């Protein structure tokens, strides 16, 4: 796998979407056994109506970055690991016919990988 050149990475203006969020519990970790404990956010899972994405002329894909404001003065960024594009199961459909919402799963984004403040 080759690395992307910075000229090949495209950033589109952010869009605010209405979702039903679920921020999972985090697990405490250590950098090395018994030393320097840290705790980060758990996975961020949300559901979004397909019609809402269509209205905004947008989509959510694997690898996209999602910002979630957990407080008024803080936005935490996540990376999409499951874009929920297969939504033909009974839970996501209207009477088993047409999918109407997607469940998207994200994991915390590495600050060295994505920092919107640059």
> Number of folded domains in the chain?
1
Q: Which structural domain, as residue segments, surrounds residue 92?
A: 41-110
Has residue 29 been placed in a domain?
no
- CA–chain centroid gap for 54, Å, is 18
Cα–Cα dist 46/69, whole Å: 14
Q: What is the pLDDT along the chain (118 residues), one digit of tens a residue?
A: 455 555 666 677 888 999 998 888 776 665 556 666 556 778 899 999 989 999 999 999 998 999 988 888 888 889 999 998 876 666 667 666 777 888 999 998 877 777 666 5
Q: Is residue 17 part of a domain?
A: no
Within a domain: residue 11? no
């Amino acid at each position: 796998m080759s690395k992307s050149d910075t000229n090949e990475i495209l950033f589109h203006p952010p869009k605010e979407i209405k979702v039903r969020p679920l921020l999972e519990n985090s697990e405490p970790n250590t950098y090395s056994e018994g030393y320097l404990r840290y705790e980060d956010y758990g996975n961020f899972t949300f559901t979004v109506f397909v019609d809402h994405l269509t209205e905004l002329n947008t989509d959510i894909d694997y690898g996209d970055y999602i910002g979630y404001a957990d407080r008024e003065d803080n936005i935490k960024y996540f990376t999409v690991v499951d874009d929920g594009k297969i939504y033909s199961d009974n839970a996501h459909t209207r009477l088993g016919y047409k999918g109407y919402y997607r469940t998207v799963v994200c994991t915390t984004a590495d600050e060295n990988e994505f920092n919107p403040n640059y």
